[in-house]
Amino acid sequence: MKNNKKISVRVNDEITSREVRVVYINQEGLELEGEISGKILPLEEALEYADKWDTDLIEIATDKNGVSICKLMDLDKYLYQEKKKAKAAKASQKKGDQKEIKLGVDIADNDFATKEHHAREFLLKGDNVKVTLQLRGRRKDSQVIKDQAMALVLRFSDSLSDVGKTSSMPVWQGPRLILQINPR
């Protein structure tokens, strides 16, 4: 019988309950009905069956009466199945995509409203929005233009405050002003 120290389940002698409800799983992974499956047995008797069939007694849950529910199956196979289930569950969780909205310093009001509308849709869908404003040419060196750019990006952030929250203040990265907005 195997005893793996890295697992978070109780196996064989680690089970503390005096009585266990046993489910027997054969080599093909099928639950067998029969002489012991589903029955409550003393722990010692369940361990004898595990020895007899060269399997492990794995505690999977405890019922409301304090009786451990255990599977009689190979420990490596059980760990593999649990790892596969966890991986599938993680893959099924939707992670919000990163969408980018680009602004210009001299953006018109209707264009600003359109960009705001698109950002709002992204945030309501659960996506993160990255707002970028790039300065080009002589504008990169003008402090007045940089102040206007900062004011524009903050105004954009404020207009979306009901559906999104900013993770931090806008940051200059060279000639580019970047702001991250996450969904609420």
Q: Does the pLDDT of residue 37 top 80, yes or no?
A: no
Fold match flag (12-92 vs 98-183): no
In terms of Cα–Cα distance, which of 60, 37, 46, 55 is closest to 18?
46
Boundaries of every domain in the chain: 12-92, 98-183
Report the C-alpha gap between 101 and 97 in whole angstroms: 13
Mean pLDDT of 52-79: 81
Judge contact between 27 and 75, C-beta under 8 A: no
Mean pLDDT of 94-115: 89
Report the C-alpha gap between 83 and 4 in whole angstroms: 15
Architecture in CATH of 98-183? 2-Layer Sandwich (3.30)
> What's the fold here for domain 12-92?
Ubiquitin-like (UB roll) (3.10.20)
Check residue 27 and give its pLDDT: 56
Report the C-alpha gap between 180 and 168 in whole angstroms: 7
Check residue 77 and give its pLDDT: 84
User: Where does the pLDDT of residue 5 fall: very low under 50, low under 70, confident under 90, or very high at 90 and above?
Assistant: very low
Between residues 14 and 152, the one the model is more confident about: 152
Strand partners, 62: 68
Between residues 148 and 37, the one the model is more confident about: 148
Question: Could you report the per-residue pLDDT of 126-179, keeping only the tens digit for each?
Answer: 889 999 999 998 888 889 999 999 999 999 999 999 998 988 889 999 899 999
Mean pLDDT of 34-48: 75
What predicted TM-score, i.e. pTM, was given to this entire model?
A: 0.50
